[in-house]
Amino acid sequence: MSTENEGTAVPPAPSAPPPPVDAPASTAAAHQGNQGHHAPGSGPAPAPAEPQASTQGAGTGTSIAGVSGTGGDTGHGHGAGPQAPQGGYAAPGAHNAAPSHPDQPHHPPHASSAPDASWPPPPPSSTPSYGAPYGGGGAGHGADGWGSSYQQPAPKKGGGRGRIVAAVLAAALVAGGLGGGLGYTLARENDSSGSTTVSASTSGGNVKRDPGTIAGVAAKALPSTVTIEAESSSGEGGTGTGFVFDTQGHIVTNNHVVADAVDGGKLSVTFPNGKKYEAEVVGNAQGYDVAVIKLANAPSDLKPLTLGNSDDVAVGDSTIAIGAPFGLSNTVTTGIISAKNRPVASSDGTGSQASYMSALQTDASINPGNSGGPLLDAQGNVIGINSAIQSTSNGGFGTGQSGSIGLGFAIPINQAKYVAQELIKTGKPVYAKIGASVSLEDTSGGAKITDQGAAGSEAVDPGGPADKAGLRPGDVITKLDDRVIDSGPTLIGEIWTHKPGDEVTITYERDGKERTTELTLGSRVGDN
């Protein structure tokens, strides 16, 4: 409950002056200027009636938010005796009245030698209040205005209070009856002028959501996005995501999602409608971090997601990610494409070789469990496979159990589609290669061809693509076509966006001079 401005608004002036209060004695001059029209020698003025204690200001008061009231509509009492009317306000002209504002000091009233029988009492030198005081601080405004002279009438005998209460009660009942009758009449005649509320013609499940909206895309894609549970032979495992690739029951996901189940483990796939299927690994590619699994007894009504063209994606395009972050299946998040061709190296956490990708970067929320799920464009086409996040827990890319910080990475679908099709055909991945070993150090000057290859082999394969293009150990590759190469992992990720047989232009440095050469990419089958 908001308490903003509570106690600062000025309540409206009452329609009649409040009951008189005892006022301190004032000078003869003050009496002369502030008393009513009582003529000298006409006898003593009528005695004032006994003031009634105001329940509006009594006690301390507490707002419904559980905080102490500050003198607004809840009002505070300031000791015994008559209270200020309406929210702690001092009666107009009351001398040394308790301050209404809680931040102002409370001054006890001065002792008086005799009460002033006139109304209003002498004007105070200073009366603290919220905003402007009633009637300009108690000054007269004419015979009929608030703050004008007022003569207390003589008290009437018997029954006056009871009649007043009865009259007020009768007025309340009449007003209540009128209000009820008027409300019934307005409702019966459907008179819209009595209300400013507007009711929707449709709501909830009755609303038709256009295909291009986030809700429309999610409604179409969710039935074809699955939650994958992988378990190794030793009982270890985890949860990830995948999506329907074809009507034969193939599901595409990340390699690191199913890595635990590759050798003798178990796989289960759950659809959003709750149906669960056993599955098996068809093929997996550690380097690409792509895997294909197949449902056992696949249903006949599978609807594959439409694959887009990741080459046509632009920075700033809308994205929609679907997955099971931390096991929360069927979670939909949105964002944009933050960058393209982002070099990323990740691992499945099992100590196997790293994966390299020239990734789509997105700020759509991606967490552990989103891996393998689809990254969609605004039309619902798959443009990538969510694969890695920037982890604050380990300072790098991978599967560290950290939350989303807006840096997620997806394998472009053009690359993943090619890999998946190869896995379905042969069960093994096929990689493009240049036939040279490069340093994997994180540098910014380029990808340097090492002096020696793995396990003591040649750094440049004899008769391979690099050898035929004239590359030698010590050369530093700085570009592949128009892509800037700043390190070995960047070069590998960029090469793997191509297919074997593609022709590329290599820019490299040798002995301080920049050179270029044409190279036809070779192929390598399998991860070993």
What residues are annotated to the active site?
256, 289, 371
Q: Given the DSSP bridges, would you call strands 503-510 and 476-480 parallel, antiparallel or unpaired?
A: antiparallel
Distance CA 278, CA 225 (A): 16
Phi, psi for residue 510 in degrees, rounded to 5: -140, 125
Q: CA geometry: angle at 447 spanning 443 and 453, to 5°? A: 115
Strands 266-270 and 250-253: unpaired
Write the Ramachandran bin of 467: left for phi over 0, alpha for psi from -120 to 50, otherwise beta. Answer: alpha
Return the closest-CA partner of residue 82 out of 50, 114, 113: 50
Q: Tokens for 521?
A: 């990419």
Distance from CA of residue 94 to its chain's centroid?
53
**Taking a C-beta distance cutoff of 8 angstroms, is the pair 289, 411 a contact?**
yes
The HSE-up count of residue 30 (CA atoms within 13 Å, CB side) is 18
Q: What is the largest CA-CA distance in the chain?
A: 134
Instruction: Write out the DSSP string of 43-79.
Output: -PPPPPPPPPPPSSS-S--B-TTSSB--SSSS----S
Phi first, then psi: give them for residue 455, nearest 5 degrees.
Answer: 55, 35
Inter-residue contact 323 to 385 (CB < 8 Å) = no
Tell me the two tokens of residue 61: 């008061």
